Amino acid sequence: MSKVPPTSSKRKAPRPRDEEEIIPIHAQGFFSVPPRRGYIYEVLVFDYYDPGEYYAGLIHRPLDYESEMARLASAMQGFLDSETIEINDRRVKARVEALSLEFRGDPAYPYLTFIIYFPAILRRGLNTYVNMYEEEKAEYDYEVYWMLPPRSRFIEVEVASEYEVLGGGNILLFWARRGDRLPGREKISFELH
Number of domains within the chain: 1
| Structural domain for 101, as ranges | 23-192
Q: Is 16 among the domain residues?
A: no
Cα 12–chain centre separation: 8
Q: Cα separations (Å) of 75 from 12, 82, 86, 150, 171? A: 10, 11, 21, 35, 29
Residue 11's pLDDT band (cuts 50, 70, 90): low
Mean residue pLDDT of the chain comes to 90
Report how far residue 131's alpha carbon sits from residue 56's, in angstroms, rounded to the nearest whole number: 34
Query: Is residue 25 pLDDT above 50, yes or no?
Result: yes
Q: Is 18 among the domain residues?
A: no
Report how far residue 91's alpha carbon sits from residue 130's, in angstroms, rounded to the nearest whole number: 9
pTM of the predicted model as reported, rounded to 2 decimal places: 0.88
Report how far residue 34's alpha carbon sits from residue 31's, in angstroms, rounded to the nearest whole number: 10
Q: Please report the pLDDT score of residue 160 as a whole number.
A: 87
Q: Is 177 among the domain residues?
A: yes
Q: Is 5 among the domain residues?
A: no
